[in-house]
Amino acid sequence: MILLALNPLVSPDPGLFIWSTVTFLILFFLLSKFAWKPIVKALDERERFIEDALSKAEMAKLEMAKLIGENEDLLKEARLERDSILKEAKGIKDQIVNDAKDLAKSEGAKLIEKAKIEITNQKLAAMAEIKNQVSSLSIEIAEKVLRKQLEDQGKQQALVNDLLKEVKLN
């Protein structure tokens, strides 16, 4: 039974076949006359647009590669310049530090020399002061001793005699 039901669907009807063919030919003619050229033209334009876009993308890619290369060159140049500036700055810094050390050493040596001279002068002044004080004290002591000894007439005569003996011996 299923075979009988499918059989009319499988067998072609000649009238349906003719009308389907005529309709297809009319549709094909109308499409080729009015729609085919605009569709082909639109496809050609789309193809050209895609080709242009691809060529522009390729050109942009090349330009980008060129810019990246230039950027790398500029970066290398900047690094070299930075290194040069840092090296120069380090040299200047070292020179300034060395000059400052030399200046500090010479100033320190001058201050030490000045301090030594000042110490020597103070020492000499102190020695002179001590000598003056010692001589003053010696004179006072000698004066007091002589006064004690010269109070007695006999002691005076003995001192004079002793002094005269010493003078003759020398």
Structure tokens at 66: 């060129």
State in Å, rounded, how far the first CA of the chain is from the last one. Answer: 182
pLDDT digits (tens, 9 = 90+) for 6-31: 455 556 678 888 999 999 999 988 88
pLDDT band at residue 89, thresholds of 50, 70 and 90? very high
159 by Cβ neighbours in 10 Å (0-12 / 13-18 / 19+) ranks as middle
**CA–CA dist 45, 164 (Å, integer):** 152
Q: What is the dihedral of CA 89, 95, 100, 101, to 10 degrees?
A: 130
pLDDT in tens, 33-80: 888 888 889 999 999 999 999 999 999 999 999 999 999 999 999 999
Tokens describing residue 86: 């840092």
How does pLDDT run across 136-168, given as a tens digit for each residue?
887 888 777 777 766 777 777 777 788 778 776
Q: How far apart are CA 136 and CA 139, in angstroms?
A: 5
pLDDT at 8: 55
User: From CA 60, how far away is CA 68, in angstroms rounded?
Assistant: 12
Specify the pTM.
0.40
115-133 burial: b if 16+ Cβ within 10 Å, else e: eeeeeeeeeeeeeeeeeee
CA 86 to CA 92: how far, in whole Å? 10
Task: Please tell me the number of Cα atoms within 13 Å of 24 on its side-chain side.
Answer: 6
CA pair distance 26, 5, nearest whole angstrom? 33
* Residue whose entry in the numeric block shows the structure tokens 């729609």: 35
SS3 of residue 48 by DSSP = helix
Q: Can you tell me the distance from the alpha carbon of 152 to that of 145, in angstroms, rounded to the nearest whole number?
A: 12
